[in-house]
Chain A
C-alpha cells in the first residue's frame, strides 16, 4: 500500500547567483514495509529530496507550485510550520549521518528523547522516560536504565547511532528517513545498524527512505532503488533490476567505478569529468558532459523523458526509445 507519494517535486534555491534549480520533477512512491534506497554522488539532490518531505530545507528553498508531497490525500507542502509538527518526528522520523552533531551535547540523551516524545504525545514525564528506556533497550543498548542519563559524548559512535534510531522510532513513525545513517561508522558496526533497521522495518511494517552513496549497502538493504544525478531521477527499479541489469549510462558507470571486494582484480573505471555546478546546469540531459554514449545534437538539446523499459524499471535516457 502506498504510504507517501511525491509528485513533480521541483525546488529552486534562491542564491546570490540567482535562482538555481536543485530538484527537477522528482516523482516516486514509498510503500508500507518497503525500504526505498536513494543513491547518488554529492550534490545529486538525495538529501534535499528527503528533507522536502518534512519541509526541512533551508529558508531559501522555493517549491514549485505543481510539486506535491501526498500523505493520506493531504499535500504536505501546503501546511504551515504548526501543522507540520506531526510530520517532523511523529508520522515521519529522521536519522541523520552525524550522530555527534544530531544530539545536543549539553543535554542528557534521555531528556532529549523525552522532550520529543512529549511534543508529539500526551505523556507524563515518567511514562515518557519509560518509553525511552524501552526504545533504547529494543535497539540493543544494554543497561538503558542508567545510560539514559548520560550525555552523547559519553557514547561511542555506534551507540550514539543506536540511540538516534531509538529516538526516531520511539514515536512509532509510519516512515523513517535515514540519511547516510552508517557512513561515519566502522563496517562491523554498520552491519549491526543495518540489521537493526531491517528488523524494525519488518516488525513495524513501516516505510523507509534510505539515502546513501554506497550501492553495495543498498544491494543488502533496499527493495527498490532510485539513482539520482543533478536533481533528477535517472534510473529506478527493484534492487535486482538496477544493480544487476543497469540501463542508464550513469548507473553503469557508477557500478564500474566502485571497488568490489569479491572481484578485487577488476579495473576501476573512473567517470571522466565532474558534476557541473548548479549554476552551470546544461540544457538537455544533465549527464551529457560525462557520458560515454553522448549523442550529438540530441543529448545536448532535449531533456530525455522517463520511460518504462520493463515492469517497474524506469530510465531517463535518449538511448532508449520504443
Chain B
C-alpha cells in the first residue's frame, strides 16, 4: 500500500531580512531535508523542543506555509495531489480535505460570531452546501458528535469554558469532512481532567471517520497515550521515527533517550529526572555542520561533527545517528 502522505527532502525557509541595503536577503531553514511517510488512519505524534520546527512542518503539510525544496504528496480518496504544483481550483479542493486545530481555545474563536456561525464557516467558505437549512443540519450533526449542547449554538464563545471551546474548535475543523488534521498543541492549554475528555473525543471521531492526524505536542506523556507513531524533531530535522511502543520502550536516538529521561515520573518512589541533558537547543541561525545534536550528545565523535546522518532503517525505527549499536 502506498502511503497517504509522502514528504520528500522538504526544506522550509524563513527570511531573516537583510543586514543592510546592499547585502542579500538571508534565509535560515526551519525544516531541513525532512522525509516522512504517513499511512492512512494513523495518529502521528510530532514531538520536540521549542524551535525544533514542529509547527512549521505542520503548516507546510497544510499548504499554509510555502516550502522551498522537496515535495509533499497526498493520496486522497478522490485522487492524489502534489502540493508543489497546485492550481487555484485544486487548492480549494485541497483545503477542504485538510484542517488545523489550534492550541489556544480563547484566541482561535472569533468573539463576535455565534458558535453556529463559527462551526459553519468552513462549509460556507468552501461553498459546500446549497441552502441554509442544509448548513444548519450539518452544524447540528457535528456539534452533537463533539458533545456540544445544540441548544447553546446561538451563544457566543465567551460563555463557554476552555474545554467547551476546544470542542467548538474541533467541530469547526471536522465539518467539511477532512481526511487529514493537524492538531497543534491542541490540549496544551487545558487542565488534565478536561484534556482527557478532549483526547477521548478526538480518538473516537478519528476512529469513526478514518481520519489521519498529525498531533504536535511538547508533552511526551500525552503523545505516549494518544498516538500510534511518533516522530522526534530537533533543529528542523526528524531524528527518529517509529511506532509508539518502539519509541517509548526502546528509543534509539540519543536525543530521544535524553528527552524521555527528562519526563518526570508520577511514581514518587522512582526518582528519575536527575540525569538530564545539559545545554540548550542551538539557535537555528548557527546550524552546525554534521549532526544537529552534536553539541549536547553524550556519544559524540569526530565523525558526528563532519558527516550529517540521514534517516536509516534500524530495528523497526528510522533513526538519524551514526553511532547506533544494539
Asked if A pairs with B, the answer is yes
A-to-B contact residues, CB < 8 Å: 41-42, 156-159, 186-192, 194-195, 213-217, 219-220, 239-240, 243-244, 253-255, 257-262, 264, 266, 268-271, 274
Instruction: List the A side residues contacting B274 at CB < 8 Å.
Output: 195
Report whether B225 and A264 are in contact in the complex, using a CB–CB cutoff of 8 Å.
Answer: yes
Q: List 18 A-B contacts (CB under 8 A).
A: A41-B193, A157-B50, A186-B281, A188-B259, A188-B277, A192-B276, A219-B268, A243-B267, A244-B268, A258-B196, A258-B221, A258-B266, A259-B199, A259-B221, A262-B265, A268-B200, A270-B193, A270-B194
Report whether A219 and B265 are in contact in the complex, using a CB–CB cutoff of 8 Å.
Answer: yes
Q: A268–B219 Cα gap in the complex (Å)?
A: 15
Query: Would A220 and B258 be within 8 Å (CB), given that A41-B191, A191-B277 are in contact?
Result: no
Q: B113 in the interface, Cβ–Cβ < 8 Å?
A: no
Instruction: List the A side residues contacting B161 at CB < 8 Å.
Output: 274
Q: A156–B278 Cα gap in the complex (Å)?
A: 14
Report whether B273 and A261 are in contact in the complex, using a CB–CB cutoff of 8 Å.
Answer: no
Instruction: List the B side residues contacting A189 at CB < 8 Å.
Output: 49, 280
- With both beta carbons as reference points, the residue of chain B lying nearest to A241 in the complex is identified as B268
Q: A171–B222 Cα gap in the complex (Å)?
A: 39
Query: Would A219 and B194 be within 8 Å (CB), given that A156-B280, A264-B224 are in contact?
Result: no
Q: A268–B218 Cα gap in the complex (Å)?
A: 19
Interface residues in B129-185 (C-beta closer than 8 Å to A)? 161-163
Q: B84 in the interface, Cβ–Cβ < 8 Å?
A: no
Report whether B267 and A244 are in contact in the complex, using a CB–CB cutoff of 8 Å.
Answer: yes
Instruction: List the A side residues contacting B278 at CB < 8 Å.
Output: 192
Q: Which 10 A-B pairs have the closest CB atoms?
A: A270-B197, A264-B224, A271-B193, A270-B196, A191-B276, A268-B196, A41-B191, A259-B225, A216-B266, A186-B49
Q: A42–B191 Cα gap in the complex (Å)?
A: 7
Q: B299 in the interface, Cβ–Cβ < 8 Å?
A: no
Report whether A264 and B269 are in contact in the complex, using a CB–CB cutoff of 8 Å.
Answer: no
Report whether B193 and A187 are in contact in the complex, using a CB–CB cutoff of 8 Å.
Answer: no
Report whether A217 and B264 are in contact in the complex, using a CB–CB cutoff of 8 Å.
Answer: yes
**Minimum C-beta distance from B219 to chain A (A):** 8
Q: B14 in the interface, Cβ–Cβ < 8 Å?
A: no
Report whether B264 and A219 are in contact in the complex, using a CB–CB cutoff of 8 Å.
Answer: yes
Report whether A261 and B196 are in contact in the complex, using a CB–CB cutoff of 8 Å.
Answer: no
Q: A191–B280 Cα gap in the complex (Å)?
A: 12
Instruction: List the B side residues contacting A42 at CB < 8 Å.
Output: 162, 191
B-to-A contact residues, CB < 8 Å: 49-50, 161-163, 191-197, 199-200, 218-222, 224-226, 244, 248, 258-269, 271-274, 276-278, 280-281
**Minimum C-beta distance from A130 to chain B (A):** 27
Instruction: List the B side residues contacting A186 at CB < 8 Å.
Output: 49-50, 218, 281
Report whether A258 and B192 are in contact in the complex, using a CB–CB cutoff of 8 Å.
Answer: yes
Q: List 19 other contacts, CB 8 Å, given A186-B49, A188-B258, A262-B265.
A: A41-B191, A186-B218, A186-B281, A188-B49, A188-B276, A191-B276, A191-B277, A192-B278, A195-B273, A213-B191, A219-B267, A220-B273, A255-B266, A258-B196, A261-B221, A264-B225, A269-B196, A270-B194, A270-B200
Instruction: List the B side residues contacting A216 at CB < 8 Å.
Output: 221, 263-266
Report whether A264 and B199 are in contact in the complex, using a CB–CB cutoff of 8 Å.
Answer: no
Report whether A257 and B192 are in contact in the complex, using a CB–CB cutoff of 8 Å.
Answer: yes
Instruction: List the B side residues contacting A187 at CB < 8 Å.
Output: 49, 218, 220, 259, 262-263
Q: Which of B163, B224, B258, B266 has the most CB of A within 10 A?
A: B266
Instruction: List the A side residues contacting B222 at CB < 8 Å.
Output: 259
Report whether A240 and B200 are in contact in the complex, using a CB–CB cutoff of 8 Å.
Answer: no
Q: A266–B248 Cα gap in the complex (Å)?
A: 14
Which of A220, A244, A266, A270 contacts B271 (CB under 8 A)?
Answer: A220
Instruction: List the A side residues contacting B192 at CB < 8 Å.
Output: 41, 213, 254, 257-259
**Minimum C-beta distance from B213 to chain A (A):** 16
Instruction: List the A side residues contacting B258 at CB < 8 Å.
Output: 188
- With both beta carbons as reference points, the residue of chain A lying nearest to B164 in the complex is identified as A274
Q: A195–B264 Cα gap in the complex (Å)?
A: 12
Instruction: List the B side residues contacting A239 at CB < 8 Å.
Output: 268
Q: A213–B194 Cα gap in the complex (Å)?
A: 13
Instruction: List the B side residues contacting A243 at CB < 8 Å.
Output: 266-268
- With both beta carbons as reference points, the residue of chain A lying nearest to B260 in the complex is identified as A261
Instruction: List the B side residues contacting A259 at CB < 8 Å.
Output: 192, 196, 199, 219, 221-222, 224-226
Which of A158, A217, A220, A261 contacts B220 (CB under 8 A)?
Answer: A261
- With both beta carbons as reference points, the residue of chain A lying nearest to B281 in the complex is identified as A186
